Amino acid sequence: MTDDDPGLQARLDLADWRRQVADLHSSVRLEAEDDPESAWEIWREAREKLFRSHPQSPVPAEARAAFRARHWPYDPRLRFELAVSDAAPPDVASMPVLAEPLFGGLTLALPISTGGEETFTRIGRFEVPFASGPRTLGLYWMAGYAGGLFLPFRDATNGRETYGAGRYLLDTAKSADLGSGEAPGSLILDFNFAFQPSCAFDPRWSCPLAPPENRLDIRVEAGERLT
C-alpha cells in the first residue's frame, strides 16, 4: 500500500483489484487440486494481465504497456504440503521483539520498505525439505491491515534475479494462499507461486520485509523473477 490519500475512484479501483485477485486465487486453488502446473499457468498469465492493465497495478503507469512477467519454469519438486510447527526458533536475538504477544506467539516488529515497522506474530514454523537439505521458515500473522497469514522469505537470488529484499509465498490478506494440505494442521507451500512485493516495481509502495530467520542460504529458482 501507499501512504497517499487515494480518493474515491482509486478506492473503487482498489476494491476491484482485490476482488479480481481473490477470484484468481480461488480459481487457482481449485485447479491445483488436479494440476498444479496448469494452476500456475493461470496464475502467471492473469497476474501479468492485471499488472499491465489495471489502474491499481504496482507497475508505474508509464511502464505498464511494455510490462512482461518473468518466471522460472515450473518445478514440481518445489511444491510441498507441510505441517506447521509451533516450536520456537533457537535464536531470536537479532529480531526486534515487542513486549506483548498476540495469539500466544512471539510478536515481532518487521521493517517496512518505506521506513518504520509493522507488527506481526510468529504463529509457527515450517521445515522445508529442499533438495540441498531442510531449511526452516517462520509463519506470521499480520496484526494490522486485514490480518492474515504471511510468509516472506529471502534467498540467494535476491539482488540478482529477484527483488533484493525478498519475495512473498503466503499473504492471505491479499488472497495469496494455496490452501491447506490433506493432513490436519498443514499448508501448501509452492515456491513456483513466490511473488515480488509491490515495492519491487515502484518504491512508493510500502511492503513488510523478511526477517533474519526467513533468509535462506540457497537459491530458490522458482516463481517470479525480475530479470
Q: How confident is the model at residue 97 (pLDDT cuts 50, 70, 90)?
A: very low
* pLDDT for res 163: 96
- Among 225, 224, 222, 226, smallest CA distance to 80 is for 222
Cβ neighbours around 116 below 10 Å, total:
9
Residue with cell 504463529: 123
pTM over 0.85, yes/no: yes
pLDDT in tens, 29-62: 999 999 999 999 999 999 999 999 999 999 999 9
- 3-class DSSP state of 198: helix
Q: What is the DSSP string of 101-163?
A: -STTSEEEEEEBTTSSEEEEEEEEEEEEEETTEEEEEEEEEE-STT--EEEEEB-TTBTTTB-
